[in-house]
Homo-oligomer: A and B are copies of this chain.
Amino acid sequence: MHPGEHLEELEELLGPAGVLTVPSDLVRFTEPYRGAPGPAAAVARPRSVDEVRDLVRWARRHRVRLLPQGANSGLVGASTPPAGAGGSGAPVVVSLERTAGDPLIDPIDRTATVTAGTRLSTLNEKAARHGLVLPIDLCADPSIGGMVATNTGGARMLRHGDMRRHVLGVRAVIADDDASVIDELSTLRKHNVGPALTQLLVGSSGALGIITDVVVDLGRLPDSRSCAWVIPTNADSALEMLLHLERRHGEWLEAFEVVSAEALRSAVAHGAPAPFGPEVVPELSVLIEFAGDAPAEDRLVSALGHLASQGLLTEALVVPADTAWATRHAITEGLRGTGTVLGFDVSVPRPALPAFRERVRLAVAAIDPDALVADFGHWGDGGIHCNVVVPGMATITPDRSAALREVVLGTAVDGFGGSFSAEHGVGPGNADWWYRTVPAPVQRTINSLKRTFDPLGVLGHPGLPFG
C-alpha cells in the first residue's frame, strides 16, 4: 500500500511538525554520506516513546516500512532509503532528533541517561563538566541511538572498547503485535538477570526495534594527553611496537593508528600538517597517543626512547594532540581529492596485519596497476580502513569496481580470516558479504529472531539481510 495515502493519519498522531513531506525538507534525511540517495515517502519525527508506539502501530496497520535513522552519518547505506525504490516501495524515515535533550548525568554513579536523538557532542559537553566522557572517538557526531544501533567503534577502541561496552541498558519500541516497549533502561552495572535484549539491539541497525533512550557508563576525562608521530623501521616493527607499548604502558596507550604513505601523502596534500616535514612521507607512520592521570608526555617520551633503543623506529616526534590528529583526520577528505576512492573497512587478526597489507597490494596491482592502496587504521584492534584509490576523477566501471572490492574483501576474509565490516556495521552496501560469510544456521536464527521483534517486516532498511 502506498504510504502517502495514510500520511494525514500519521500527522494526526505526531502533529504537523512530526511528519515532513516537502521534498526540500527531506534532503538531509535521504542523502547518505557515501552512496546514492533514495526517495522517502516522508520523515516521521516522534518526540516520545508513546509517539514511537503510535508510529509503529500505524506502520503495521498500513504495512509501511519504517527506516530508523540516527544522525545519518553511517557509511554502509543503512540510514537512507534504497535508490530508485520510489512509489509504494518508498519507506518512511524515522528520525529521533526531536527527542534530543539534556543528558541526565550522575557523577557519583558515572552514568548518563540520554535520549536516542541526542548527539555525542552534546553528551560529552555536559559530561566534561563532571570530568567525565563517553570515550568513543569518531570522525563524526552521531546520535546516541544510532551509536547503539550500529555499535560504533573508533580510534580509541583499543583502550575503551566499542559502544556495546558502554551501554548499560536501552529502552526501545519493537514492532510486535503490541508495539511493545522493551524497557531495560537501568543504570546498574551489576544486574545479571538472564538474556539481555539490550545486547541484541546493539548493532541491530534498526531492524529489531526503535531505540528511544540509552544509559551509558562514562569514563574519566584524562588529566593529560600526549601524541607522537613515529616512523617504524618496517611493518613488523610497527606490530612489535604495539606489543611493547601494550605490555609496558598498557594503562597509557590510547591510540595506535598506522598510516600508509599513500594515505599520509593525500592528507598533507589536502593541507593537513606534515608530521615529518613536507618532503618526508615514510612508507608507514604511526600516530601514538598516551593519556592518563599524570603528565603523559614524560611517559610517552620515555617509551619512545625505549622503542628507539630496540631499533623499532627511525624517527619519533612529539606533536600537540590537535595537530597530530588533524593529519590523521584529513586522510579521508585528502583521498577524495586524489581520485576515485573505494573505501573498505576490514579487520584481520593482529599478527596478520603486515602480511595482509602486502598481499592486498599485490592483488590490487594485478587487477589495476594504476590503483593505489591507501590504508590506515587501528592496528590495536586489527582494524584497517583499506582504501583503494583510482587516480584521476573519471568514474570507474562497475566491473572494475566489483573486481577491486572482491580482492580486498576476499583477501581479508578468505585470506586471513578477517571481517568484511570491522566497525561500520551491515547495510545494503555490504549485505552480499553478510550472506556469503555468516554461517547459514546463524543467518536462519537471526531471521527467526527478527520475526519475534517484527513479525510483519516493517522495521529497518529493506536492503538489510536481517531487515
Contact = CB atoms under 8 A, between A and B. Distances in A.
B165 A161 contact: yes
Give the secondary structure class of A's interface: loop
Interface in A325-351: 347-351
Contact of A434 (B193, B383, B466): B193
Contact of A109 (B251, B349, B444): B349
A393 to B, nearest CB: 32
A94 interface: no
B131 A191 contact: no
Interface in A164-189: 164-165, 174, 176, 178, 180-184, 186-189
Interface stretch (A17-25, A201-209, A358-366): A201-209
A376 interface: no
B425 A190 contact: no
A164 B465 CA distance: 25
Contact of A421 (B109, B192, B446): B192
A336 to B, nearest CB: 23
Contacts of A250: 220, 293
A453 interface: yes
Interface stretch (A41-49, A56-64, A150-158): A150-158
A138 interface: no
A375 to B, nearest CB: 14
A351 B108 CA distance: 6
A117 B188 CA distance: 30
13 contacts: A111-B349, A180-B445, A182-B442, A183-B441, A189-B347, A190-B382, A193-B438, A194-B425, A194-B446, A195-B466, A196-B200, A200-B200, A445-B453
Interface of A: 106, 108-111, 131, 150-151, 153, 157, 161-162, 164-165, 174, 176, 178, 180-184, 186-197, 199-200, 202-205, 207-208, 220, 239, 243, 246-252, 292-293, 347-351, 378, 381-383, 417-426, 434, 437-439, 441-442, 444-446, 448-449, 452-453, 464-466
